[in-house]
Every structure is written in structure tokens, then in C-alpha cells.
């Protein structure tokens, strides 16, 4: 599946990245979480009630009750840190809008979370697909105040983006929690803007359904998995516009960025969020560098499984039993791979002691286990001979 633009464009059809996926997760789309089902007894949620009786002009008494609970207290303390994010693009870019002299028009709207206020600036985390292609970005605060925002950086692999805006109107900032200690069944609260700003500040409740889910993502919409997103699962009903919103624990701490859902007629209540522990290093890189620093081998590659068997055996001269690995299509000049002696048509089968059977596995290893400057032990086939090399990893984008 791929990243779906859950900003719900009003004037253009941006297309769903999810169309590239097949199988049970083909309908997974990025949107944003709505959380059902906080049960007071089962979840230990406290409720208080202040009741007043008021007699109206007809002599009939109305009962007025002010109900408070752990949920309402958390929402009161955190909701102002959740904002609306509007993606503005010019009419020339958007073929489905009338030409208004090139003035940027709303292409979609999502959510964001204010995570830091420092001097004259405030910083907001949202999803990459919420601001993708934006010429301008507007942020709408919980009281309806609209302010301009600058996109500091985006990351397509983790679907995160960081915005910067003036802090004069901003009072509340979300507190980061620890997503590594979450347990299945733990109650959570989601705050966001389903259907854009039409239902801004919507609050829903639910539980953590699973903590270490891997969801395949098709970044370039070619029908092949490019990435495995590590996400939290919740029994939330996610709707377009909730993307980038807050998933909050019972202590009022931000433990996830709402991002996607499984959207199939036969599937209900599978919402997904980016764990905050995974998001924090990405947020820091985007805020300070504008991009995420990731290591690179210095090669272009393809899956060996995509190479016909006759070519594998007759042209690459590989062992007949070798069916999985990563073929080196080309080697970049002055790269770590070139310095290590890797050549075109080499087939990588192991990195750092881990078997490598596909481009997806190679990328996951580099982006999650390795760092720029590491020296990586690699095993590869050159023809029928299994060889080894040590590759110094350089910075890639």
C-alpha cells in the first residue's frame, strides 16, 4: 500500500498512493485517527457530575449536568496543541479549479501537533502527505486563529514533516510520551480535524490494538513495496483530515502521530499511527537540517527476482540455486561501493551479518540499523563466486 493523501482535496483529485498495493493491505490509506470506546469501568476512567435544576418559563424543569472525566481533563489540557494544517497550491498546479489569476487555493487540509515553542518560533509536526506539493501552508489554531507556516523539511519514508510558525498566538505545547511502553488494551485519545476543518478539534477515544505492526508502503506507486512502516494499531475510525493529528495516552502525553487506516469493505476499526519514539529523531533532523540523514552504499539496485532465470544463469552466471538477492545495476563514482570494489552485476546477499533477499530488506537495514560513517561487511556473488567487501557508508538522501 502507499501513502494516501488524506487531506481530502476539495478542488483537485490528487490520486491515492494506495492504488499501487495488492492483498489484504491494498486499501490501507493515510488519514488520521479517531478513537472509539473508552469504557469507564473497564479502563478505570473517572467521571464526576455536577447537576443543577433549572425551571423554564413554561414551568417545566430542565436538568443541567456538567460531566467531567479523565478524558475531558486530558482533552482540556492538550487539545490546544493540535492544529489544522491547510495545503495551498496555485490554480495552475490544480487543473480542477477555476483559474483565479494564480492565487494559491486550498488543495487539502489535515492536522498537526505543536511540539515546541522557542523564542519567536513554534514548531509543528504533521504528515508529509498533508503538506506535499504545497506552495503555502496555513495553520489554524484551536480558537480559529489562522497563521502562516513554513515547511522546514519533509520525509517521504516516514511520512513526517515539520513546520515552523510565529509563536505569538501559541500558548500550548504537547508533551512527548514513551511509545515503547505501550500495551495492547491501553486507552488512548485522538484529537484532529476529520474532513479538514469542517469538524476541527474532534475528540475520539479507543485502545491500543497492537504495538509493533509493519505495514508495506509503495512510495513510487509502481506496485512494488518500497518500505515497511512501523506503526501502532488502534481501534480508531480514521478519516481524511485527521492525518498528522495527536494520539495521546491517559496521562495527556503524545505517543503517536495519526497517519493511516486499513480501508476495505471487510475491515473495520484498524487505524495506524507513527510511534512517537520513532518520530522524534526524524523530527529533530527535519527541524535542524531540513532532511533526514541516511547512509548510502553508492549503488543503484534491483531485485534479483525481477531478473529472468535464463539471464541469471547465462549472463550473470549465478548458481542455479540462487534466486533471491539484490543486483547492482551501477556504481556511483567516488562512492564507498566503488572504493570497496563492487561492480555492475554483482549480487548482494548479506549485509552486516543479515541475509538480504530484496531491495526492501537492503533499504530497511541501511535506514534502521546503519549510520553514515559505518563500515559495513557485505557478501555478494560475482558470477558463481561468493565474495566479501567492506563498504564505508556515505550520506545519501
Tens-digit pLDDT profile for residues 360-397 = 999 999 998 999 999 999 999 999 999 999 999 998 74
By the 8 A CB rule, do 229 and 364 touch?
no
Full 3-state SS string of the chain: CCCECCCCCCCCCCCEHHHHCCCCCCCEEECCCCCCCCCHHHHCCCEEEEEEEEECCCCCEEEEEEEEEHHHHHHHHHHHHEEEEEEEECCCCCCCCCCCCCCCEEEEEEEEEEEEEECCEEEEEECHHHHCCCCEEEEECCCCCEEEEEEEEEECCCCEEEEEEECCCCCCCCEECCHHHCCCCCEEEEEECCCHHHHCCEEEEEEEEEEEEEEEECCCCCCCCCEEEEEEEECCCCCCCCCCCEEEECCCEEEEEEEEEECCCCCCCCEEEEEHHHHHHHHHHHHHHCCCCEEECCEEEEEHHHCCHHHHHHCCCCCCCCCCCEEEEEECCCCHHHHHCCCCCCEEEEECCEECCCHHHHHHHHHHHCCCCCEEEEEEEECCEEEEEEEECEEEC
End position of a domain, from candidates 291, 317, 346: 291
The percentage of residues in the chain with a pLDDT greater than 90, rounded to a whole number, is 59
Question: Which burial class, exposed, middle or buried, applies to 140 when counting CB atoms under 10 A from its CB (0-12, 13-18, 19+)?
Answer: buried
| One domain, residues 195 and 252 | yes
In a domain? residue 121: yes
Identify the weakest region by mean pLDDT among 38-47, 93-102, 303-312. 38-47
Q: Tell me: the pLDDT tens digits for 11-40?
A: 333 333 333 333 334 344 444 322 233 333
Average pLDDT over residues 236-254: 86
Higher pLDDT among residues 260 and 367, named by residue: 367
Strand, coil or helix: 198: helix
Distance CA 339, CA 385 (A): 20
Catalytic choice (6, 70, 111, 129): 129
| One domain, residues 285 and 301 | no
| One domain, residues 180 and 311 | no
Tell whether the model's pLDDT for residue 2 goes beyond 70. no
In a domain? residue 7: yes
pLDDT given at position 362: 95
In a domain? residue 57: no
Distance CA 288, CA 283 (A): 9
Looking at residue 159, which CATH number applies to its domain? 2.40.10.120
What is the torsional sign of CA 35, 39, 44, 48?
Answer: positive
In a domain? residue 53: no
End position of a domain, from candidates 224, 257, 291: 291
Distance CA 330, CA 325 (A): 15
Per the listing, cell 487505524 goes with 271
Catalytic residue check, 374:
no
In a domain? residue 58: no
Q: Tell me: the pLDDT tens digits for 53-104?
A: 555 555 666 665 565 578 889 999 999 999 999 999 986 555 555 555 568 8
Number of domain units in the chain: 2
Q: Is the pTM of this model over 0.85?
A: no
In a domain? residue 251: yes
Helix (H) or strand (E) holding 55: strand 47-55
In a domain? residue 49: no
Looking at residue 328, which CATH number applies to its domain? 2.30.42.10
Average pLDDT over residues 221-234: 85
- Beta-carbon contacts of 382 under 8 Å, excluding residues fewer than 6 positions away, are 343, 345, 346, 347
Domain holding 173, by residue range, is 1-40+63-291
End position of a domain, from candidates 291, 307, 342: 291
Catalytic choice (6, 179, 243, 335): 243
Catalytic choice (70, 155, 159, 235): 159
Average pLDDT over residues 206-212: 91
> b/e for 229-261, b at 16 or more Cβ within 10 A?
bbbbbbbbbbbbbbbbbbbbbbebbbbbbbbbb
| One domain, residues 89 and 181 | yes
| One domain, residues 109 and 24 | yes
| One domain, residues 352 and 203 | no
Number of neighbouring beta carbons within 10 Å of residue 332 = 15
Catalytic residue check, 159:
yes
Average pLDDT over residues 176-187: 95
- Beta-carbon contacts of 44 under 8 Å, excluding residues fewer than 6 positions away, are none
Q: Tell me: the pLDDT tens digits for 113-165?
A: 999 999 999 999 999 999 999 999 999 999 999 999 999 999 999 999 999 99
| One domain, residues 34 and 129 | yes
Q: Where are the alpha helices (DSSP H) in 137-291?
A: 276-289
pLDDT given at position 141: 95
Catalytic residue check, 64:
no
Amino acid at each position: 500500500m502507499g501513502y494516501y493523501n488524506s487531506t481530502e482535496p476539495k478542488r483537485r483529485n490528487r490520486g491515492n498512493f494506495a492504488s499501487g498495493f495488492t492483498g489484504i493491505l491494498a486499501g490501507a490509506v493515510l488519514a488520521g485517527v479517531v478513537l472509539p470506546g473508552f469504557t469507564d469501568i473497564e479502563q478505570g476512567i473517572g467521571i464526576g457530575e455536577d447537576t443543577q435544576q433549572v425551571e423554564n418559563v413554561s414551568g417545566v424543569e430542565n436538568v443541567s449536568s456538567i460531566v467531567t472525566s479523565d478524558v475531558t481533563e486530558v482533552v482540556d489540557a492538550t487539545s490546544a496543541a493540535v492544529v489544522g494544517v491547510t495545503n495551498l497550491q496555485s490554480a495552475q498546479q490544480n487543473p480542477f479549479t477555476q483559474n483565479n489569476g494564480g492565487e494559491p487555493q486550498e488543495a487539502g487540509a489535515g492536522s498537526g501537533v505543536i511540539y515546541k515553542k522557542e523564542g519567536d518560533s513554534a514548531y509543528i509536526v504533521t504528515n508529509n502527505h498533508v503538506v506535499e506539493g504545497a506552495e503555502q501552508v496555513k495553520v489554524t489554531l484551536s480558537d480559529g486563529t489562522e497563521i502562516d507556516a513554513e515547511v522546514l523539511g519533509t520525509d517521504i519514508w516516514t511520512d513526517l514533516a515539520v513546520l515552523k510558525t510565529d509563536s505569538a498566538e501559541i500558548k500550548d505545547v504537547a508533551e512527548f510520551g514513551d511509545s515503547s511502553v505501550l500495551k495492547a488494551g491501553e486507552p488512548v485519545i485522538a484529537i484532529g480535524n476529520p474532513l479538514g476543518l469542517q469538524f476541527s478539534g474532534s475528540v475520539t477515544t479507543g485502545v491500543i490494538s497492537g504495538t509493533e505492526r509493519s505495514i508495506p508502503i509503495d512510495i513510487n506507486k509502481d506496485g512494488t513495496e518500497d518500505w515497511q512502516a512501523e506503526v501502532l494499531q488502534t481501534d480508531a475510525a480514521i478519516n481524511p483530515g485527521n492525518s498528522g493529528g495527536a494520539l495521546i495516552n491517559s496521562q495527556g502525553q503524545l505517543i503517536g502521530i495519526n497517519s493511516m487506516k486499513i480501508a476495505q469493505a471487510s475491515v473495520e476499526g484498524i487505524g495506524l499511527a507513527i510511534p512517537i519514539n520513532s518520530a522524534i529523531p526524524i523530527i529533530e533532523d527535519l527541524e535542524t537540517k531540513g532532511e533526514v540523514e541516511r547512509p548510502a552504499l553508492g549503488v543503484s539496485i534491483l531485485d534479483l527476482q525481477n531478473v529472468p532465470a535464463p539471464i541469471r544463469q547465462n549472463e550473470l552466471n549465478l548458481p542455479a540455486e540462487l534466486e533471491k538477492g539484490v543486483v547492482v545495476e551501477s556504481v556511483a563514482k567516488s562512492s564507498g561501493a566503488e572504493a570497496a570494489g563492487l561492480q555492475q552485476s554483482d549480487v548482494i546477499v548479506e549485509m552486516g551479518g543479515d541475509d538480504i533477499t530484496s531491495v526492501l530488506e537492503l533499504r530497511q537495514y541501511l535506514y534502521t540499523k546503519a549510520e553514515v560513517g559505518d563500515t559495513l561487511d557485505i557478501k555478494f556473488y560475482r558470477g558463481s563466486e561468493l565474495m566479501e567487501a567492506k563498504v564505508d557508508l556515505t550520506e545519501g538522501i
